[in-house]
Structure 1
Amino acid sequence: MSKGRTPQNKVALIAGPTASGKSDLAVRLALALADVGREAVIINADSAQVYADLAVLSARPTEEEMRGMPHRLFGAWDGSTACSAADWATAAKAEIAAAHETGAVPILVGGTGLYIRTLLDGIAPVPAIDEGVRAEVRALPLDQAYAALQAEDPDRAALLSPADSQRITRALEVVRSTGKPLGHWHQQLEGGIGHAVTLAPLVLLPEREALYARCDARFAAMLDQGAVDEVAALLARNLDPALPVMRAIGVAEIAAMLRQELSREECIASGSQATRNYAKRQYTWLRHQPPADWLRIAPENVSINTHFEIFF
């Protein structure tokens, strides 16, 4: 193969928890490829950074941080429209195909496991949920919904925490609306591209205490960098509180501060804790759920030329 060309099916993936430095690494990889005459396109795989409304609160890369490298699917959705994993995967597939068409290297970067899994493995073809069933399930108190799931889909219930309201609700409405448990549909995944691409995955797993310290420092800094104005603008739109953009980490805490229910110090403490909790969940997922042959490594130990040598 001549220098400067890459096989048309190769895709880089840099995954990591929030505040792990994955976006910076993606840019460094793109710049390294540019140095050897190869183009790259960085494609967002973070479920908060897809929303235009959350530039600061999602730590979306700034123009300066992008360093002139093409970035796609960052701020691509208005907060009034939910971006599901299927929606994102469809858009990501199009961006990957467009990059390959021009000979560029697609670099996926993010920490949203459901997005990554949907893109690679496909999505379960669950039929549309009956609206009556959905309303009935969502009206249940969480403890009752979990007890119902234990009775109606015990296999799924055993996999979930009793506090995981979103997944409990989803599993219960699926089994009640379709008559089949969620596991049945997951065995029929379709639309994934994992079999059709050569993936170069790298999972960043920083030292935990250092990661949590960065989470704390970042949330406090966000308040001075425009996050308060972002949340105020969201609240002024009177969006459905169930929308993902309204449930993003930090929105509830800053909204409470704006309503004078929390002091600034309490907002920072609560928002930092929520960020650490999220980073912990991402860390656990990335450590255990992706295939065992995906390299897990501390950010400071990454060698771009070595770990992404298939592109050079």
Structure 2
Amino acid sequence: MDAMPVICLLGVTGAGKTAASLALAEALPGSVVNLDSRQVYREFPVITAQPSPEEQAVAPHYLYGFLPCTERISAGVFAERAHEACAEVRASGRYPLLVGGAGLYLRAFLEGLAPIPPVDEAVRESLEQALDRSGLAPLRKRLEEADPEYAAAIHPNDTQRTLRALEVYDSTGKPLSWWHAQPTPTPQVRPLKLFLEVEQKALHRRLDERISQMLEAGAVDEARKAMDSCPDPDAPGWSGIGCAELHAYLSGGCPLPEARALWLRNTKAYAKRQMTWFRKESDMTAVPAQDVNRIVALASRFLETV
């Protein structure tokens, strides 16, 4: 079977991936497949910057807002869903555009992930009890000692991924980063990896403006509505940046200006972690995010060779 061509539009949060993906989708034509671990959540289209209904009307979009706040999804399962979506795109005569900034999900999609043995339920329950008893901080410290590579790749307040990494470590004796590095059957895809560059000062300005736009677009009301159906701050959907800070505000934990400042600070820190991850990626072509003509030209040239 010939390898399926997939164009990966990658970049840090706020780099302008959505705009680039829409231009490319119209030019090829292509369909957009989500590669963002937070944009899967149904309750948070504004806070997670999912493409708007108007943007999604430009071209078919897959794997956005399909998961309820109460459910979690692993990188491996997400990769399977993404492969199914890409195959559906090709069957329709269009080209799949994998768009996002989740480095681990990209690795799972392109390389597969090692099959991790089942986790001991007693270990999971013990970790959840430790979380209820002492909070996330001690567990985060344990993860930094047991698996510093994975700890550096996730947000310090990501309860879901911290617990997952520790339960794998405690159940198998191997850190999650070790399992991810194990050889696996390579999926039959041929990727073009385009990294959308943006200058740091400009990015920070855009992130600040974007949070203001999200608040104006109803981010607080969106979070309040989500709390009505899922008030648990440890639910998987609430672990995303913006979601956690607005939950704290609505719970009375901090005033809105403080929540906004923390939201911006955490977003900048996340962008830095994304940059560190993508710098390690091989076969990456960097292109200015605003240079749509070059993005289209690179993609068109790539598709001529497949």
TM-score of the superposed pair, with normalisation by structure 1: 0.83
> Aligned residue for 2:290?
300
> Aligned residue for 2:246?
254
SS of the residue corresponding to residue 98 of structure 2 reads strand
Q: In 2, are the aligned partners of 1:125 and 1:189 still within 8 Å (CA)?
A: no
Aligned 1:1-312 pairs, distance under 5 A: 9-33=4-28, 39-138=29-128, 139=130, 142-143=137-138, 146=141, 150=145, 156-157=147-148, 160-161=151-152, 164=156, 169-182=163-176, 185-190=179-184, 192-193=186-187, 196-286=188-278, 288-291=279-282, 293-302=283-292, 303-308=294-299, 309-311=301-303
Q: Offset of 1:47 from its aligned partner?
A: 1.1
Cα distance in 2, alignment partners of residues 230 and 74 from structure 1 = 16
Cα distance in 1, alignment partners of residues 198 and 76 from structure 2 = 29
Cα distance in 2, alignment partners of residues 199 and 27 from structure 1 = 19
Give deviations 1:56-84, integer Å, cap 9, x for gaps: 00111112223521111111212222122
Distance 1:104 1:146, change over 3 A: same
Q: In 2, are the aligned partners of 1:80 and 1:239 still within 8 Å (CA)?
A: no
Number of residue pairs aligned between Structure 1 and Structure 2: 293
Cα distance in 1, alignment partners of residues 180 and 62 from structure 2 = 29
Cα distance in 1, alignment partners of residues 255 and 165 from structure 2 = 37
Cα distance in 2, alignment partners of residues 281 and 183 from structure 1 = 16
Cα distance in 2, alignment partners of residues 197 and 242 from structure 1 = 36
Q: In 2, are the aligned partners of 1:203 and 1:297 still within 8 Å (CA)?
A: yes
Q: In 1, are the aligned partners of 2:149 and 2:177 still within 8 Å (CA)?
A: no
Name the % identity: 35
Give deviations 1:235-281, integer Å, cap 9, x for gaps: 11135432321111112322233244433322221221122222222
SS of the residue corresponding to residue 297 of structure 1 reads strand
SS of the residue corresponding to residue 173 of structure 1 reads helix
Q: Offset of 1:213 from its aligned partner?
A: 1.0
SS of the residue corresponding to residue 212 of structure 2 reads helix
Q: Offset of 1:199 from its aligned partner?
A: 1.0
Which consecutive unaligned segments of at least 5 residues does structure 2 have?
none
Q: Offset of 1:40 from its aligned partner?
A: 1.7
After the TM superposition, which of the residue ranges 9-18 and 174-183 deviates more from structure 2?
174-183
Cα distance in 2, alignment partners of residues 163 and 89 from structure 1 = 21
Q: Offset of 1:171 from its aligned partner?
A: 4.1
Q: Offset of 1:180 from its aligned partner?
A: 4.1
- Larger of the two Rg values belongs to structure: 1
Distance 1:171 1:10, change over 3 A: same
SS of the residue corresponding to residue 12 of structure 1 reads strand
Cα distance in 2, alignment partners of residues 67 and 174 from structure 1 = 41
Distance 1:187 1:276, change over 3 A: closer
Q: Which has the higher contact order (CA 8 A, sep 6+)?
A: 2
Runs ≥4 residues deviating over 6 A:
none
Cα distance in 1, alignment partners of residues 15 and 143 from structure 2 = 38
Distance 1:165 1:22, change over 3 A: closer
Distance 1:69 1:121, change over 3 A: same
Q: Residue type of the partner of 2:14?
A: A
Give deviations 1:148-178, integer Å, cap 9, x for gaps: 874xx5xx44774599575665444323212
Distance 1:178 1:42, change over 3 A: same
After the TM superposition, which of the residue ranges 298-307 and 264-273 deviates more from structure 2?
298-307
CA RMSD for the aligned pairs? 2.7
Q: In 2, are the aligned partners of 1:203 and 1:296 still within 8 Å (CA)?
A: yes
Distance 1:164 1:95, change over 3 A: same
Q: In 2, are the aligned partners of 1:85 and 1:114 still within 8 Å (CA)?
A: yes
SS of the residue corresponding to residue 14 of structure 2 reads coil
